[in-house]
Amino acid sequence: MDWHHLKDWAQHAAGLNMDALHVYAGIVLQLGAALVMRRSLRSPWPWLVVLVAEFANEYYDYSYEIWPDRDIQFAEGVRDMWNTMALPTLLLLLARYAPRLLVGKADAAAPSAADPG
């Protein structure tokens, strides 16, 4: 089974269209890469894993399928890039520049981990 058939199988098994699968795949890949690499979502490395994987996927799609109008095919690839990278990019930016939106404000009454008392 090649990559194209695996993607078709995932689409039918999940009952989602390919655009939705791109969104979910981007998030799952970013979280999985952060877990495996033991990096925070603040780190650009999990985001870069998603970017490289998506470029490889779109290169494969563009090489595997030859549409009569290559401009439309290229535009579809750009849309796939957008769908895949939008939420991982948002998570990266939030984790780096507005982490309180993700973890909340520290409670002043709660003892810190460094406080032995």
How crowded is residue 91: how many other Cβ atoms within 10 Å of its Cβ? 21
* Rounded distance between C-alpha atoms, residue 37 and residue 103, angstroms: 21
Q: What would the pLDDT profile of 45-99 be if each residue is shown by its tens digit?
A: 999 999 999 999 999 989 988 889 999 999 999 999 999 999 999 999 999 999 9
Output the CA angle 63-72-84, nearest 5 degrees. Answer: 70
* Rounded distance between C-alpha atoms, residue 86 and residue 103, angstroms: 20
pTM: 0.83
Chain centroid to Cα 23, Å, comes to: 7
Domain ranges of the chain: 40-97
Looking at 38-117, list the stretches that DSSP marks H as alpha helix, in order from N- to C-terminal side.
44-64, 70-97, 100-103
pLDDT bucket at 32, cuts 50 / 70 / 90: very high
Residue 9 contacts by C-beta under 8 Å, 6 or more apart in sequence? 1
3-state secondary structure of 41: coil
99: tokens are: 């982490």
